[in-house]
Structure 1
Amino acid sequence: MTSAYSEAHRRLDRILIFFFVICISGIIVGIVRQEWLFAAVWLAAGFFNGVIGASIRRLANTPETGEDDEFFDRQVWFRNLVNVGQLLSATVMAAGIALGQPWWRDALAAVAIFFVGVFGLSLLCGPRKKRSAQQ
Structure 2
Amino acid sequence: MIQAVTHVTVYVKDDDEALAFFTGKLGFKKQSDSPMGPEGPRWITVSPVGQPDFELTLLNPSTWFKGEEARTASEQIGRQAMIVLASDDIEADHRALTAAGVTVEGPVRDLPWGRDLIFKDLHGNRYNLVQSK
TM-score of the aligned structures, taking structure 1 as reference length: 0.35
Q: Which has the higher contact order (CA 8 A, sep 6+)?
A: 1
- Structure with greater helix share of residues: 1
